[in-house]
Amino acid sequence: MPHLPALRTLLPHTTIWDAAELATRDPGFDARNFGASALVRPRDTAEVAALVKFCAEHGISLVPQGGRTGLTGAAATVAGQVICDLGAMNRVEEIDPFARTAIVQAGATLGALQEAAGQHGLDPGIDLAARGSATVGGMVSTNAGGILAFRNGTMRHRVLGLEAVLPDGSVFSDLTCVLKTSAGYDLKHLFIGAEGTLGIVTRVVVRLDPLAGASAAALVGVPDAASAQRIVRHFLGSTAARLSAAEILWRRFADAMQRALNYTPGQLPLDAPCLLVLGLGADSVEAAQSLLEEGLADIWEEAGIIDGLVAASQAQAELIWRLREETEQIERMHHLPPSFDVSVPGGALDEYVTRIEAGLKAIDASYAPYVFGHLADGNLHISINTDGPVSHERHEAIEDVLYAGLTQAGGSFSAEHGVGLEKREAYERHADPVKQALARAVKAMIDPGNMMNPGKVVAL
Amino acid sequence: MPHLPALRTLLPHTTIWDAAELATRDPGFDARNFGASALVRPRDTAEVAALVKFCAEHGISLVPQGGRTGLTGAAATVAGQVICDLGAMNRVEEIDPFARTAIVQAGATLGALQEAAGQHGLDPGIDLAARGSATVGGMVSTNAGGILAFRNGTMRHRVLGLEAVLPDGSVFSDLTCVLKTSAGYDLKHLFIGAEGTLGIVTRVVVRLDPLAGASAAALVGVPDAASAQRIVRHFLGSTAARLSAAEILWRRFADAMQRALNYTPGQLPLDAPCLLVLGLGADSVEAAQSLLEEGLADIWEEAGIIDGLVAASQAQAELIWRLREETEQIERMHHLPPSFDVSVPGGALDEYVTRIEAGLKAIDASYAPYVFGHLADGNLHISINTDGPVSHERHEAIEDVLYAGLTQAGGSFSAEHGVGLEKREAYERHADPVKQALARAVKAMIDPGNMMNPGKVVAL
């Protein structure tokens, strides 16, 4: 890239890698992440702004990257592009234990924020399996969800304020630290979930919640999702219990996970059509276990529970949680098969799963999806049992089965992974046309040169 | 207005009032609300769209109105304008008890939504004193907050989806019913808190939460806000208690309210410098009362509590709540004095109150503000003890004292009432300039003819 010497002169103390260097590094979850001609790792907002101005002047497109754990290709790059890597802006700058807020640099990992907040008995209220590498900036840019979203909202609901560098190099500064503000358009929401296409998020104010003193887990066998929902509703209705997880695993997924993890058959009770993993916080482990036991006993008959196990130890709880969380086992088993991430409106989960099972069989009689996810917010993850990726046409046929009518019913074809490159076509086919037109107008207004992560989310 | 006959032909079955009719009607909280030349009350989204198209074609500006309970003049109108009154679109269309969502027309009151949700043991999770007349559409448009926001977020956090008619008459339709969606820019947030300047909100999907089985209230005397915050933090940290209100009343306000409400001195213990009103939900009244008593006993010494009373009956709880909620007593007593609504970051409440007391005294030695509000989110309401409104210059001097440094410290000069007309100048003086420029660009893009509630929030 001919601009590298000038860039090195502009930012003499900043880490800059060229394409040759990038080729020797780990690109993260997506092999395309390091296709760019250079990577720049600014150390503060001023350096990000200088980089953005430089790129704007030279017509270079910029792609921001955090932990490179994204699943939709939103951080993929090609030759001629420059990566703005936020990895050096990784500090938790400030925690206010009374206001229950943290000011965090975009490159800090979720794990680092959880640890810093935990020292004050607080927690960011959002959790996901990639916590060790996913960054706060990346989670803001994809509006990450995870296990706790049904209670605490998605990343969008945890952000009180943010700072972002706009495509012209100016700094949008809204480091609001309070929950309540009605002081004009709340424009920070444009940058949340924009996957870096409208600017580069540099700092974030995150809302924190008090940590539960202790927690316990249960594994419950139920006939269907409706039964699991009755159980969840029962726990949510009790003010004494603080439900912290309600994950559902359909039988085929649970069986495959049990084999992949080499669990002894019978080690966990996994014989029901659906398994519900419950997490519950309380002031002590004993209290959490009792609340789970009592709650399940109260709703046992009404929900038609088949069997249930409240973990008696931390080790047993981990055994249950690995069954839900180590989903890369499925990816590995099927060599990166087509995977999907939908939100299905509450009342329709069983009907949806029955419908897609039939629809997928109609495409290919061997198709039998793995279905699991976040029950309490209707967010299902679906992997197909193919051997590796499928053709573009086949992928589209699968999407048609999975996404048909979903937007109209109030659901979403992309629940928590974003649009990136993978869901661009689905976005164009399934998102409301007026919304799409408005999104293009917003993109054209804020980034008229189309320099910020071009080709992702919206096409100009 | 010369267009009235054409409008009546266009919408033959729709209620339309002319200026003469408007002059005979109650304009609500702001005398300026009915200054327009006509009011139209559409019965559905299609009629709103037809009205908007008509006004766009004829260069008429439109002002949407809900319950007309706004406090910043956002619904004020002048001759030549047309009011789009959402009062006929007042139905709670659908409640899904498992998904815990409601689809509501914009003109439904908060009270109507609370009642409909309550029939399923659910609640919209937001509450404010004007619940009987404030509408869901108005609350979305001002991003209303209220008593429960510290726990459940503001209106913005309760909205899952919305439908709005844009200034060109097209319908932005995003009736998402799920919490998790990362399917492109989340543009509904442009309309939340926009006070009708970007379009007219017609339908809203609101998230619901299970109602607590019962609740109890306490009145606690403390030396300062820091002490009250320690108490709140203690209750928030316990998973067994579900804190549902934490309101603070500085002594001068509590004294004035006690007199205005004709309470017998000593009827409630009001001798401390600050009073904290706590609400707590539990599975029974007895459980809620015990949790309040035990929690206060646990933190009594550490927080330096002066005195405390857990309401023994519903009547006593109401006595406590009237002290906080009937704030119109102060308005009446001082003939609509200057009133303000700020968010102060957590750690700085006592310092802020001390600073503004001194700053106001420096303007006029007789100034002694009434201060009260939502402790747990730092949202303070402040009324000055003048006799009626003050001059423009004096108002600005008071604002300078109250707002100085607030945005920079992460607070807000408008916490939950919006900008409207009243805070336009404050917005221009205190909001971030990059944010203001972006807001103007958004307004110019979506409403190039400046026909939607012109002159409110942003000036073109």
| DSSP result, B287-298 | HHHHHHHHHHHH
Q: Tokens 């309040």 identify what position? A: B292
Q: What's the pTM value of the predicted model, to 2 decimals?
A: 0.96
Q: Where are the beta strands (DSSP E) in B154-284?
A: 159-165, 171-174, 200-207, 209-210, 214-222, 242-250, 274-282
B394/B400 Cα distance (integer angstroms): 10
Listed by start position, the domains of chain B span: 4-85, 92-210, 214-325, 328-436
Q: Which of B226, B345, B438 comes nearest A177 by C-beta?
A: B345
Question: Measuring CA to CA, how many Å separate A28 from each of A32, A37, A69, A75, A130?
Answer: 9, 17, 6, 10, 12
Residue B428 pLDDT grade (very low, low, confident, very high; cuts 50, 70, 90): very high
Q: Secondary structure of A121-185 in the HEC alphabet?
A: CEECCCCCCCCCCCEHHHHHHHCCCCCCHHHHCCHHHHEEEEEEECCCCCEEEECCCCCCCCCCC
- Is B118:B211 a contact under the CB 8 Å cutoff? yes
A214-325 CATH, one of 1.10.150.240, 3.20.20.150, 3.30.70.2190, 1.25.40.10: 3.30.70.2190
ipTM rounded to 2 decimals: 0.95
Determine contact: A233 vs chain B, CB below 8 A: yes
* A125 interaction partners in chain B (CB closer than 8 Å): none
Please count the residue pairs, one from chain A and one from chain B, whose beta carbons lie less than 8 angstroms apart: 303
Q: Which of A98, A145, A185 comes nearest B190 by C-beta?
A: A185
Percent of chain A with pLDDT over 70: 100
Contact call for A182 and B434, based on CB within 8 A: no
Any bridge partners for residue A17, and if so which?
A39
Determine contact: B448 vs chain A, CB below 8 A: no
Residue B151 pLDDT grade (very low, low, confident, very high; cuts 50, 70, 90): very high
Determine contact: B440 vs chain A, CB below 8 A: no
A96/B345 Cα distance (integer angstroms): 9
Question: How distant is the alpha carbon of residue B43 from its chain centre?
Answer: 26
Q: Which of B96, B239, B343 comes nearest A178 by C-beta?
A: B343
Q: What is the mean pLDDT of residues A408-420?
A: 95
Residue A143 pLDDT grade (very low, low, confident, very high; cuts 50, 70, 90): very high
Q: What is the mean pLDDT of residues B185-209?
A: 98
From B7's Cα to the closest Cα of chain A, the distance in A is 26
Residue B238 pLDDT grade (very low, low, confident, very high; cuts 50, 70, 90): confident
pLDDT at B283: 85
* B377 interaction partners in chain A (CB closer than 8 Å): 178-180
**pLDDT, tens digit (0-9, with 9 covering 90-100), for A332-372:** 999 999 999 999 998 889 999 999 999 999 999 999 999 99
For chain A positions 321-380, those within 8 Å of chain B (CB to CB) are 343-347, 374, 377-379
Determine contact: A295 vs chain B, CB below 8 A: no
Q: What is the DSSP letter of B448?
A: T
Contact call for A409 and B177, based on CB within 8 A: yes
Q: Which of B178, B233, B430 comes nearest A378 by C-beta?
A: B178
Determine contact: B295 vs chain A, CB below 8 A: no
Q: Which of B374, B417, B432 comes nearest A174 by C-beta?
A: B432
Q: Secondary structure of A38-82 in the HEC alphabet?
A: EEEECCCHHHHHHHHHHHHHHCCCEEEECCCCCCCCCCCCCCCCE
Mean pLDDT of chain B: 96
From B277's Cα to the closest Cα of chain A, the distance in A is 18
A4-85 CATH, one of 3.30.43.10, 3.20.20.70, 3.40.50.300, 3.40.980.10: 3.30.43.10
Q: Domain A92-210's class?
A: alpha beta
Q: What is the DSSP letter of B300?
A: H
- Is B345:B378 a contact under the CB 8 Å cutoff? yes
Please say if the pLDDT value at position A279 is more than 90: yes
Q: What is the mean pLDDT of residues B288-299?
A: 97
* A229 interaction partners in chain B (CB closer than 8 Å): 98
The answer to whether domain A214-325 and domain A328-436 are alike in fold is: yes
Q: Which of A186, A413, A430 comes nearest B192 by C-beta?
A: A186
Please say if the pLDDT value at position B113 is more than 90: yes
pLDDT at B212: 83
**pLDDT, tens digit (0-9, with 9 covering 90-100), for A220-266:** 999 999 999 999 999 998 887 899 999 999 999 999 999 999 999 88
For A228, list phi and psi in degrees, rounded to 5: -60, -35
CATH topology of domain A328-436: Alpha-Beta Plaits (3.30.70)
| SS3 of residue A117 by DSSP | helix
Half-sphere exposure of B14 (CA within 13 A, CB side): 29
pLDDT at A285: 95
* A287 interaction partners in chain B (CB closer than 8 Å): 240
- Identify the helix (H) or strand (E) that includes residue A214: strand A214-222
Please say if the pLDDT value at position A73 is more than 90: yes
